[in-house]
């Protein structure tokens, strides 16, 4: 099947590459010429396990193409997937300008019957508007319908998640659209769940927000565990055996980040308000997460007289391991606070350093300085305090005795509960984690 994909971010590029791997003829479209040339050379613009290899394989095979020429890409496509960004606006609503731009390009270009599929996360009812918008700007007498096909990939495992998801959600309003979209996914392993468009849009938000609720609930319980002398890891273990709860998303820490949970919780909260309703549970998740991100900084502030002139080791910059994405990463909030307090930061992240450097270049930043280390051990050398923000393997493998040996003062604030409390204590490390 001839497929075009608008947008080459996490959603669009992963989808396009995986469609090509399943035998479709795929053209990925982006406005950034440098990005297109980079992908043609076999280099992925995002860090994602297994993606680059599949890009190179399918580009060489001739069934994966990259272009900035949207007219050529859309003109004869049987199915066009929209995977452009829908960034959060200041009021929490989704910015749909990129969706609108691509929709108009499609309307003014297509010359044959076509199914347009929105993979981007959009507010409920957006697909209806997209279909009307396309019809308003059509320049040829063709049949066009819009379908919803939200993605459920997790960054770091996006390729695996695409091929082995729990389900594929398709939202359509006709048998023709459903049949065509099922053909796209006929060689994929996961079961297809077919619903109407608005239900598909809601499934995406409801799923992500439920997981965000679960994380915030566990962080709330973890904070209470500290006060009453319980251990959150023991509590989570006991809860995990209940099949009604399960064992995923029970890890306490410094909050969720990334491109989905923060944006989607705020968007659903905004949508409810637009209809005169308050989603109190989602509001609570947002509030808990906001406070959780800087909980360790506040603990350290109570312990220290000042951060001025202190060397602070920051281990982990991305919002989680397996990705170079910094969106809503706890490191951003905490590094800003530390620099404003005059700290000198020695940061380490095996993948996210380059993206973080764009925000905080080497040298003076605010009232402090930033230096990027090549290893966790280098970052720890001579540090007065260490903050752990990401659960990278390279950070997990730092031994308790290394903190004691390398740091000026072995004072560690672990936002991912990576280390054994008793081993850290035995090594002479003053160690603080979440809920333990």
For the chain, what are the domain ranges? Answer: 2-195, 204-292, 294-432
Residue 5: how many CB atoms within 10 A of its CB? 30
pLDDT at 258: 87
The alpha helices in 50-92, defined as continuous H runs, are: 51-61, 70-75
pTM summary value: 0.88
- The answer to whether 2-195 and 204-292 have equal CATH topology is no
The number of helices, as runs of H, and strands, as runs of E, in the chain is: 19, 15
Provide DSSP, 112-128. S-EEEEE-S---TTHHH
Please count the CA atoms within 13 angstroms of the CA of 317 that sit on its side-chain side.
29
To 5 degrees, how large is the angle CA 412–CA 319–CA 328?
A: 110
Six-digit token string for 67:
């272009």
Q: Assess whether 260 carries a catalytic annotation.
A: yes
Under a CB-based contact definition with an 8 Å cutoff, are residues 73 and 12 in contact? no
Six-digit token string for 291:
């406070």
The arrangement of secondary structure in 2-195, i.e. its CATH architecture, is 3-Layer(aba) Sandwich (3.40)
CATH tag for 204-292 (out of 3.40.47.10, 2.100.10.30, 1.10.1040.10, 1.10.3720.10): 1.10.1040.10
pLDDT at 167: 95
Please count the CA atoms within 13 angstroms of the CA of 164 that sit on its side-chain side.
4
Dist CA 433 CA 436 (whole Å): 6
Nearest CA to 360 out of 334, 389, 387, 382 is that of: 334
Domain spanning 294-432, CATH class: alpha beta
Contacts of residue 287, defined as CB under 8 A and 6 or more positions apart, other chains included, come to: none
Provide DSSP, 352-377. THHHHHHHS-SEEETTEEEEE-SSHH
Per-residue tens of pLDDT for the chain, all 436 residues: 999 999 999 899 999 999 999 999 999 999 999 999 999 999 999 999 999 999 999 999 999 999 999 999 999 999 999 999 888 888 888 899 999 999 999 999 999 999 999 999 999 999 999 999 999 999 999 999 999 999 998 888 999 999 999 999 999 999 999 999 999 999 999 999 999 999 999 999 999 999 999 999 999 999 999 999 999 999 999 999 999 999 999 999 999 998 889 989 998 999 899 999 999 999 999 999 999 999 999 999 999 999 999 999 999 999 999 999 999 999 999 999 999 999 999 999 999 999 999 999 999 999 999 999 999 999 999 999 999 999 999 999 999 999 999 999 999 999 999 999 999 999 999 999 999 9
Six-digit token string for 227:
């006060």
Catalytic one of 18, 28, 225, 260:
260
pLDDT at 364: 92
Contacts of residue 313, defined as CB under 8 A and 6 or more positions apart, other chains included, come to: 345, 346, 347, 348, 373, 379, 380, 383, 385, 386, 387, 407
Q: What are phi and psi of 45, to 5 degrees?
A: -75, -10
Dist CA 106 CA 63 (whole Å): 21
Six-digit token string for 354:
């380059």
pLDDT at 87: 87
Nearest CA to 126 out of 340, 271, 27 is that of: 271
pLDDT at 276: 95
Angle, helices 197-228 vs 261-274, to 10°: value is 110
pLDDT at 93: 84
pLDDT at 88: 85
Dist CA 388 CA 3 (whole Å): 43
Burial 206-242 (b: 16+ CB within 10 A, else e): ebbbebbbbbbbbbbbbbebbeeeebbbebbeeeeee
Under a CB-based contact definition with an 8 Å cutoff, are residues 155 and 259 in contact? yes
């Amino acid at each position: 099947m001839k497929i075009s994909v608008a947008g080459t971010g996490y959603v669009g590029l992963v989808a396009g590459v995986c469609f090509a791997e399943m035998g479709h003829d795929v053209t990925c479209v982006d406005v950034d010429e440098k990005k297109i040339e980079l992908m043609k050379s076999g280099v992925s613009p995002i860090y994602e396990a297994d993606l680059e290899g599949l890009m190179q394989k399918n580009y060489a095979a001739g069934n994966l193409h990259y272009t900035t020429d949207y007219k050529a890409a859309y003109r004869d496509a049987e199915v066009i997937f929209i995977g452009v960004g829908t960034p959060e606006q200041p009021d929490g609503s989704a910015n749909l300008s990129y969706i609108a731009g691509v929709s108009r390009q499609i309307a003014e270009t297509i010359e044959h019957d076509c199914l347009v599929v929105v993979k981007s996360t959009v507010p409920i009812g957006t697909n209806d508007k997209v279909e009307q918008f396309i019809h308003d700007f059509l320049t040829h007498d063709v049949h066009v319908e819009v379908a919803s096909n939200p993605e459920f990939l997790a960054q770091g495992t996006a390729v695996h998640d695409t091929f082995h998801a729990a389900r594929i959600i398709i939202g359509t309003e006709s048998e023709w659209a459903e049949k065509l979209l099922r053909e796209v996914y006929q060689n994929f392993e996961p079961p297809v769940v077919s619903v109407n468009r608005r239900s598909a849009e809601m499934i995406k938000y409801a799923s992500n927000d439920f997981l965000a609720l679960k994380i915030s609930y566990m962080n709330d319980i973890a904070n209470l565990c500290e006060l009453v002398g319980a251990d959150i890891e023991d509590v989570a273990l006991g809860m995990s055996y209940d099949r009604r709860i399960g064992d995923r998303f029970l890890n306490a820490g410094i909050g969720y980040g990334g491109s989905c949970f923060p944006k989607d919780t705020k968007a659903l909260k905004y949508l409810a308000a637009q209809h005169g309703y308050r989603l109190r549970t989602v509001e609570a998740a947002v509030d808990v997460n906001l406070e959780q991100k800087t909980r360790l900084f506040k603990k350290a502030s109570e312990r220290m007289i000042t951060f001025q002139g202190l060397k602070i080791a920051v281990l982990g910059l991305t919002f989680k391991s397996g990705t170079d994405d910094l969106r809503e990463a706890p490191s951003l909030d905490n590094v800003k606070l530390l620099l404003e307090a005059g700290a000198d930061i020695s940061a380490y992240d095996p993948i996210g350093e380059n993206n973080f450097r764009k925000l905080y270049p080497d040298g003076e930043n605010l009232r402090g300085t930033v230096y990027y280390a090549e290893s966790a051990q280098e970052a720890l050398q001579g540090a007065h305090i260490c903050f752990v923000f990401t659960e990278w393997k390279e950070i997990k493998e730092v031994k308790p005795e290394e903190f004691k040996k390398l740091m000026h003062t072995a004072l560690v604030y672990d936002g991912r509960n990576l280390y054994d409390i008793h081993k850290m204590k035995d090594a002479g490390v003053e160690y603080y984690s979440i809920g333990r």
